[in-house]
Amino acid sequence: MNAASPPVDRSLSSSGKPRLLVIELWGMGDLVIATPFLRAASKKFAVSLLAKPIALELQPRLWPDIKIFPFTAPWTAFKKKYQVWRWPLLDMWRLRQALAAEHFDYGLSGRWDPRDHFVLRASGIRRRLSFPRLNSGIFLTQPIARPDPLAHHYDYWRAAGQTLGLDLPLRENLPAFPRPAMKQIMVHTGARLPTRVWPLDHYQNLVGRLRADGHYVQIVCDPNQLAWWQQSGETSVACPRSVSQLLALLDQSGLFVGNCSGPGHLAAITGVPTFTLHGPSLPEWFAPLHPAAEWMEGKSCPYRPCSDYCRFPTPECLWNLTAAEVWPRVKAFVERHASTTLAPA
């Protein structure tokens, strides 16, 4: 008789590292904030990431060593997120089967989101770590204590990393990616959500002041803003249709000015100092990860922070912030970097 085959050891990947599934199902900015954790984890684990398809575009630049499971979770939609009859239930079942087949040793979410925790449990992962909420600890094997309520979202990833034996630096000690000085200032006027967009005529005023000071400004916008800029006489406005196109523009930029948005976070993680206009969101939670990042907050509002939804017809906290008020802060920001990251125009 032939000798019996030895049992298959599924505790390690082909690289010899334990398998780790990370869940981050929200936007580009959220994925970028997870980058220091993902980079550190990939040195110790064979990391897979369950994320929106945009992660496939970010992967080559930010985390080339990790595997992506692309998935758009229906509960991350801006509207009608709980119309379950519209959910792609067959695709969700197939995803669950694919994740279970990986035999992950660890599963982790950086959010205190019961939906993430249920996905970890449904995928049959042995050790499941996250921040419990609303009794979601029943889906976890290792609950993690939540950071302070005003902690930056990066601090959740740092706390999760410590649980896995990863020593991530404090946010203020994160290093900036080194890059040569560039003459171009990128002014990005878009954002995923309308409540985070400063008025375009305010941006036009700001751009005029920067150009009057002798700076070369590249306006970058979202597709729904392109016609407005063209009708306003901007013939060289850029409208990137992919992450690679956006990265190409950032690689030519010495500074970034814009809304609280994914492009701003991407600028920071690639080494570009950022100046962010925060309306409904809080910089304590979502400031870009760059040691030279600066920001200006919108007007006070009894409902702030409201993040994605506004009780008023327009986000008054942001729209009532005038270009005349913003300009001195932006001017000082640019002057601070005139001799380092910003080359002469």
pLDDT digits (tens, 9 = 90+) for 47-81: 999 999 999 999 999 999 999 999 999 888 877 77
Beta-carbon count within 10 A of 90 CB: 8
Considering the domain boundaries, does residue 4 fall inside one?
A: no
Beta-carbon count within 10 A of 17 CB: 16
Same domain assignment for residues 168 and 236: no
Same domain assignment for residues 148 and 224: no
* CA gap 137, 129 in Å, rounded: 9
Phi-psi region of 214 (alpha: psi -120 to 50; beta: other; left: phi over 0): left
Same domain assignment for residues 71 and 167: yes
Same domain assignment for residues 93 and 148: yes
Same domain assignment for residues 29 and 161: yes
Considering the domain boundaries, does residue 3 fall inside one?
A: no
- Of 147, 173, 199, the one marking the end of a domain is 173
Same domain assignment for residues 139 and 112: yes
Same domain assignment for residues 163 and 283: no
Q: Look at residue 220 and give its three-state secondary structure.
A: strand
What is the value of pTM for the model shown?
0.91
**Predicted confidence (pLDDT) at residue 32 exceeds the cutoff of 70:** yes
Q: For residue 107, what pLDDT is reported?
A: 98
Q: Are 181 and 245 in contact (CB under 8 A)?
A: no
**Predicted confidence (pLDDT) at residue 5 exceeds the cutoff of 60:** no
**Predicted confidence (pLDDT) at residue 163 exceeds the cutoff of 90:** yes
CA 215 to chain centre: 28
Structural domain span for residue 164: 19-173
Q: DSSP labels for 155-172?
A: HHHHHHHHHTT--PPPGG
Same domain assignment for residues 98 and 67: yes
CA 300 to chain centre: 25
CATH number of the domain bearing residue 274: 3.40.50.2000
Q: For residue 93, what pLDDT is reported?
A: 95
Same domain assignment for residues 26 and 168: yes
Tell me what the pLDDT averaged over the chain comes to.
Answer: 91
pLDDT band per the 50, 70, 90 thresholds, residue 38: very high
**Predicted confidence (pLDDT) at residue 11 exceeds the cutoff of 80:** no
Considering the domain boundaries, does residue 342 fall inside one?
A: no
CA dihedral 122, 127, 131, 137 (to 10 degrees): 60
Same domain assignment for residues 195 and 126: no
Q: For residue 8, what pLDDT is reported?
A: 35
pLDDT band per the 50, 70, 90 thresholds, residue 10: very low
Report the pLDDT averaged over residues 94-119: 96
- The domain total for the chain is 2
Find, among 343, 340, 14, the residue nearest to 178 by Cα: 340
**Predicted confidence (pLDDT) at residue 168 exceeds the cutoff of 90:** yes
pLDDT band per the 50, 70, 90 thresholds, residue 287: very high
Report the pLDDT averaged over residues 251-261: 96
More confident residue, 307 or 154: 154
Helix (H) or strand (E) holding 261: none
Same domain assignment for residues 206 and 155: no
- Of 173, 194, 213, the one marking the end of a domain is 173
